[in-house]
Amino acid sequence: MTSQPNFPKNEDLLESIRLDRDDPQDPYVQRLASILRESPGLAKRYADIRRQDVETGNLLRQGRDCLGLEERILARLSGSQQTKGDSVQTVLETPKAACAPAELRANSSEEVSQISTILGPQGSVRRRQWLRWLIGTATAGAVAGIGLWAWRTRKSTPQLSAGEFGSAVTELFEATLDGFGTGRDLAKESPAQGYRLSRDLRLFRGTVVTWRELVVLNHPVVAFDITHPGGEQGSLFATRWIIAGLPPIPPRQPCLRTSRSSAGWWQDNDLAYVLVVLGNSRVYQRFLTPPGPLT
Amino acid sequence: MEERTRQPSIEELVTQHAQTVFRYAYRLSGSLVDAEDLTQETFLLAAKNLGQLVDPSRAQGWLLAITRNAFLRQRRLPQMALLDDMTGALDKSGIDPDAPDEEMIQLAMKSLSEDQRVMVLMFYFEDLSYKEIAEQLGIPIGTVMSRLARAKAALRKRLDALNKKVAPV
């Protein structure tokens, strides 16, 4: 018989107390021990819970490593220390994160604002990125507009522009969303004729990739539909076509944004790629491998 | 003569604990991108407040607490809502039958509320007792126990559902 009032429900005690680690003198621990002695059924249930706890704990502590993380943190730390100790604004190109965008979130809490302050150089990087994005978007928009106009007036063009191609693919992506992920599993079967995923794509364990064959502007295209473990969706369209004006690497900012998706395009040898993702530029960037450290 | 344990440098902390902090941040935020942001923020804050690390043998717990607090602060900001929107696509996206258990548990974690996730990680990842959780969150022990029991039950339920979904037909 216990004189301790207001003990939690048995279920709460079973779930919360670990007899092998918690203080045996604690009244809650003693209460649970007494309950388990009196009820073999609850004792069995407790043993099951603890077994599951061990498994769940192990699973939660496991996980992927983030490559180059230590170097990036140390680079940011040294950048912040330089800036604190020296009023000169050193423009520091912080290595871009492999698992996160380099930019800090603005309008964060007070402490985060302080961090932003000590990371002054990040501001310069952000401004330059923004300017690059602005110029890139304006250029891409103009090119896309002209491209679309040309495409609609001429229908078939031997000299396709990058914007025209990218816009057409983006339209196709949005028009065929119902078919997203319904293709063949890339893990089991690769597309013919050497169509391959770009090396610039970031894939995680658990990323699901399927592929479909489509036609864009009378050209065969393979669409790799990618679903990240976090649920983000995007398609990489690959076509064997050399298109003038495509950059050799994926742009860090999308060339085209619609109300639903963001898209960027580039050329890798004989393959032209268009990456279209559902979401904004942050989502777009998550599909790309970041540039390596600048060392 | 009693020798004081040497205070680790921030570089040593980064080398020893960055990956653990990153995994914790990933479980907490559900996004690799946010996890790295959070990890970097953790070490920047740690560097600023290194003097507060009174017991170097508990450096990992100290860092994880910084991560947790940073996460809770960030989550109050409206701009983070976008990520939650994006994770809404989870159920539609299908589940990879070959996904390792650790990914499955990540999906299950995402189905918990933020408070539940914090509670579950304090219990499982940080290995804190109900008493320590109550102290750190500033809530009564009874509340911790009932919330923990609910969070664990929700996690198990979601894991069961996911396992059924990928079970071979």
- Tens digit of each residue's pLDDT (9 = 90 or more) over A41-93: 999 999 999 999 998 998 898 876 787 788 888 888 887 665 444 333 322 33
Q: What is the pLDDT of residue A80?
A: 64
Q: What percent of chain A has pLDDT over 70?
A: 68
Distance CA A218, CA A172 (A): 13
* Structure-token pair, residue B3: 């020798």
**Tens-digit pLDDT profile for residues A281-291:** 888 988 988 76
Name the least confident of A133-142, A251-260, B8-17.
A133-142
Report chain A residues whose CB lies below 8 A from the CB of B87: 230-231
In chain B, residues 27-56 whose CB comes closer than 8 Å to chain A? 27, 30-37, 39-41, 43-45, 47-48
pLDDT at A120: 34
Q: How confident is the model at residue A155 (pLDDT cuts 50, 70, 90)?
A: very low
Give the chain B residue nearest A9 (alpha carbons): B146
- Determine, for residues B129 and A18 on separate chains, whether the beta-carbon distance falls below 8 Å: yes
B27 neighbourhood in chain A, CB within 8 Å: 60, 63
Instruction: Please tell me the predicted confidence (pLDDT) of residue A235.
Output: 95
pLDDT in tens, B109-146: 988 998 899 999 999 999 999 999 999 989 999 999 99
Query: Six-digit token pair at A244?
Result: 């003038």
Q: Does A66 touch chain B (CB under 8 A)?
A: yes
Averaged pLDDT of chain A: 74
Test B40 with A73 for CB contact under 8 angstroms. Answer: yes
| Strand ranges across the sheet with A219-227 | A184-185, A208-216, A219-227, A233-240, A271-278, A261-268, A256-257
Residue A117 to residue B163: CA distance in whole angstroms: 46
Choose from A116-120, A152-156, A229-233 the range with maximum mean pLDDT: A229-233
Which candidate from A81, A204, A231 shows the least CB-CB separation from B32? A204
The ipTM assigned to this model is 0.82
- From B90, B127, B145, residue closest to A13, measured CB to CB: B145
Our CA-based measurement puts residue A286 at a distance from the nearest CA of chain B, in whole angstroms, of 7
State yes or no: pLDDT of B44 exceeds 90: yes
**Contact check, Cβ <8 Å, A60/B155:** no
Q: What is the pLDDT of residue A148?
A: 52
Residue of A nearest to B13 (CA): A70
Q: Label residue A122 by pLDDT band (50, 70, 90).
A: very low
Interchain contact A12–B (C-beta under 8 A): yes
pLDDT higher than threshold 70 for residue A258: yes
pLDDT on residue A96: 38
**A19-23, A74-78, B56-60: which has the minimum mean pLDDT?**
A74-78
Assign residue A31 a region (left: φ > 0; alpha: ψ between -120 and 50; beta: otherwise): alpha
Which DSSP letter does residue A73 get? Answer: H
Is residue A181's pLDDT more than 80?
A: yes
Q: CA B110 to CA B30: how far, in whole Å?
A: 6
Query: Is the minimum CB–CB distance between A277 and chain B shorter than 8 Å?
Result: no
Q: How far is residue A245's CA from residue A247's CA, in Å, rounded to a whole number?
A: 6
Residue A153: the pLDDT is 43
What is the structure's pLDDT at A110? 33
What pLDDT shows up at residue A282?
86
Which pairs count as long-range contacts for A254-258, CB under 8 Å and 24+ apart, including other chains?
A254/A137, A254/A281, A254/A284, A255/A136, A255/A137, A255/A140, A255/A144, A255/A162, A255/A163, A255/A166, A256/A140, A256/A141, A256/A144, A256/A163, A256/A166, A256/A167, A256/A170, A257/A137, A257/A281, A258/A170, A258/A174
Q: Which of A26-40, B49-63, B94-108 is least confident? A: B94-108
Across A83-92, A146-155, B7-16, least confident range: A83-92
